[in-house]
Amino acid sequence: MAVTIKNMDSLISKLNTLSSKNLYMDSLKETANTIKEDAQELCPVQTGTLRDSITVKVNSAQQEVSIGTDVEYAVNVEYGDKDQRAKPFMNPALEANRKYIIKDIIKHIRKVAR
């Protein structure tokens, strides 16, 4: 299970005129780490395995950052199943930080523009 931030081609094209591709990737990594930390805080804990498995993966070639877990039961926790109610942690963490993705990119542009 993962949340992926991608399809930023138009914005990336504009940012590339100001600086290197690292500009937006640094911003995305920063926001992704915040989303990861929030997801870990929101994650229900019995043993800590699910919480501790949440990671950030960066694919610079594909220009994307993923926040997720490879724990098989993560989907059941996030969305629930016939035996347990949903206890969302990934989607709320993404939604809480969605507005900061663009704000962080703008912050990095201002830092470079100075």
pLDDT tens digits for range 13-70: 666 665 555 667 777 888 899 999 999 999 999 999 999 999 999 987 777 889 999 9
d(CA 62, CA 53): 23
Q: Quote the pTM value.
A: 0.74
**Is the Cβ–Cβ distance between 11 and 24 less than 8 Å?**
yes
d(CA 51, CA 32): 15
Strands 2-5, 64-68: pairing kind: antiparallel
d(CA 67, CA 78): 14
Q: Write down the residue that tokens 């990934």 correspond to.
A: 90
Mean per-residue pLDDT, 84-106 = 89
